[in-house]
Amino acid sequence: MGFFPEAIAAKLAGREVGAALLCFMDFRDTPRRWWTGFGPLIAGGEEWQGTGELIQIDGLEQPIGTVAPKTTFALSGVDATIVTLARQASARVKDRRCTVYIQFFDLAPGDADVAPWSTLDKPFAVWSGLMDQMTYSAQGPSQRGVSLTAESFWTNRRRPSYGLLTYVDQIARFPGDLGLMQVVDLVSKTNRWPVF
């Protein structure tokens, strides 16, 4: 079975199919779900808050070669609650998950029982990463904006998964463990075997 069977069936039936981006940001204590349309949306069993044209996503692309691009989410015209979140963002944002989905809609259904803009299929994740920095700007009480950068999972691919195989790293993790104390002596060491 392929991806998006309901969207494909609607398109094959000659109906107009639309799409919108949904964004889940797992802020500490206050996870948020947004979508690029207007009003609340129920999709995938979750409620997504509409931002209309107030949200902008830049750098949403697959990494090619050795480049791991950053993605920037900009939200303008935000309320004071979001600005307060941005001011206290260091603990709430850093290394928290961020996922962007695509959601298909039936814009002009052929069936009278189906409302326009009804969802087709479940949201499909098209990008996922970790949030990095959140900044805000305010020019008076009516012009407020929040910008959030996120990095894809490819950003730290050169970093060792579990640290380094060194005595200092081992002591930092497990104080008093002397298991790697002799590792330095093994560099460029030649062992002859068998010994007669």
pLDDT tens string 52-104: 766 788 888 776 766 777 888 887 766 666 777 777 777 788 888 999 999 99
pLDDT confidence of residue 102 = 93
pLDDT confidence of residue 53 = 65
pLDDT confidence of residue 66 = 67
Q: Does residue 28 register a pLDDT over 80? A: yes
pLDDT confidence of residue 161 = 63
Q: How far is Cα 103 from Cα 22, in angstroms, rounded to an integer?
A: 7
* Domain shared by 170 and 148, yes or no: no
Mean pLDDT across 14-21 = 88
pLDDT confidence of residue 124 = 93
pLDDT 10s digits, 134-188: 888 777 766 778 888 898 877 766 565 667 778 888 888 889 998 888 888 888 8
* Domain shared by 115 and 174, yes or no: no
* Domain shared by 38 and 66, yes or no: yes
* Domain shared by 11 and 57, yes or no: yes
pLDDT confidence of residue 112 = 58
* Domain shared by 34 and 105, yes or no: yes
pLDDT confidence of residue 97 = 92
Instruction: Please state whether 45 falls in left (phi above 0), alpha (psi between -120 and 50) or beta.
Output: left
pLDDT confidence of residue 33 = 92
Identify the DSSP state of 49.
Answer: E
The number of domains in the chain is 2
Q: How far is Cα 1 from Cα 59, in angstroms, rounded to an integer?
A: 31
* Domain shared by 189 and 133, yes or no: no
* Domain shared by 83 and 175, yes or no: no
* Domain shared by 56 and 127, yes or no: yes
Q: How far is Cα 177 from Cα 171, in angstroms, rounded to an integer?
A: 6
Contact between 50 and 86 under an 8 Å Cβ cutoff? The reply is no
The residue segments making up the domain with residue 190 are 160-196
* Domain shared by 14 and 96, yes or no: yes
* Domain shared by 132 and 177, yes or no: no
